[in-house]
Structure 1
């Protein structure tokens, strides 16, 4: 849109490739996750009201590039808040050894060798600490 690079070319290529691969994998395997990528994929399929012209609907022409741009903005906007959360959570755990021990016990119980989205999502105590 502005044609001004905000990141090095290799970073832009990596993000574009990552989002494109994610879109293809989710479409091919029918993967649904409660996230922004899924919402954009659904918006691409549906007709939406334009809010004017008597409520006429139109199909959104969201390209892979549009979805990649939105994902990039979403990632960059959340980067600072995520790092702040991790700092406060680490500090809280350092001050509260009992909480740290209970969280470590949950981690040891839940994880084998592989960390997956589903496994992390199932961790109730971790969710209480982060939320």
Structure 2
């Protein structure tokens, strides 16, 4: 028969094993998210090249790597009551007209995963 201490030891070991598994899954998910974001960016660059080749160039400019993050953070810092993804996009379009902003939602999600933003139940984002 197990003693109370043995049971506590087994429970603690199981809790540690689960925590390690959860941390590992989170790291894997974040790595996959980064891989997908990089793939999306690569596909967007290929699309732009093909559009240029076909004479279908868009007059809008594409935000550079990291620039969209800074624009999102600036937009959210300007609003103490937070903003929805659409409001962030509208703010950036007003601040940087002509910038293509398809990646605002994924950028906001990535910033949440990095702990730089939080999102309330109404879908509003806030700088942490």
- TM-score w.r.t. length of structure 2: 0.31
Which structure exhibits the higher relative contact order, with contacts defined as CA atoms closer than 8 Å and separated by 6 or more residues? 2
Q: Which structure is higher in helix share?
A: 1
